[in-house]
Amino acid sequence: MSSSSQDISTGRRQFFSNLIKLSGAVLLAPAILKSVAVGQEKRRGAKPDAAAAGGAKELSWPVVEPGKDAALAMHYYHSHEEAKGDAQVNKAEKAGLPWEKQTCANCNFYKKVGTKKLKVAGKEQDVEVGSCTIFAQKLVAGPGYCNSWAKKV
């Protein structure tokens, strides 16, 4: 074997060795960075799932108004009591759950944010509210319902 072909083999070996090391670092970086971030949050006294529960910013969003815009198209209501009279509401069993038990709170598109005073079925009351991916930057009532309901996974 000549010295130039030996240099190429050594260079190639070094290249692939470095490539494997770099690939490993790229794969491990997100896990390492996440654990560092969680550690910093713990040192600051924050609860690890505080961000997942929503926050003050989302709680200031407006609540979806039944019968307007996208809510009209999706047949959204703050409660099943309000939705009963709408013939366009899909009252079928979905994912093994009867219609009466399908609520925004157990929908895949819902994320709890907090509570707000809402007028539900004619009564002003404190109601759990959350964000919904169907209604961008608006809140929906936890006991609410729309035709896009999907079982939480």
Average predicted confidence (pLDDT) for the chain: 84
Query: In the structure, what pLDDT confidence band is assigned to residue 77 with cuts at 50, 70 and 90?
Result: very high
Closest CA to 133 of 45, 80, 66, 58: 58
Neighbours of 130 (CB within 10 A): 22
End-to-end CA distance of the chain: give it in Å, rounded.
61
Is the dihedral angle over the CA atoms 68, 74, 78, 84 positive or is it negative? positive
Give the pair of three-digit tokens for residue 139: 């809140």
The tokens describing 70, both together, are 């996208």
Contact 74, 146 (CB under 8 A): yes
pLDDT band at 30 (very low <50, low <70, confident <90, very high): confident
| Among the listed residues 61, 78, 54, the one whose alpha carbon sits nearest the alpha carbon of residue 137 | 61
State the pLDDT at residue 123: 87
Q: Give alpha helix (H) positions in the chain.
A: 3-44, 56-59, 69-74, 80-83
In the predicted model, is pLDDT for residue 52 greater than 70?
Answer: no
pLDDT digits (tens, 9 = 90+) for 2-24: 556 666 667 888 888 888 888 87
Percent of the chain with pLDDT over 90: 54
Regarding pTM above 0.85, the answer is no
pLDDT at 102 over 50: yes
Fold adopted by 56-141: High-Potential Iron-Sulfur Protein; Chain A (4.10.490)
107 near 153, Cβ under 8 Å?
A: no
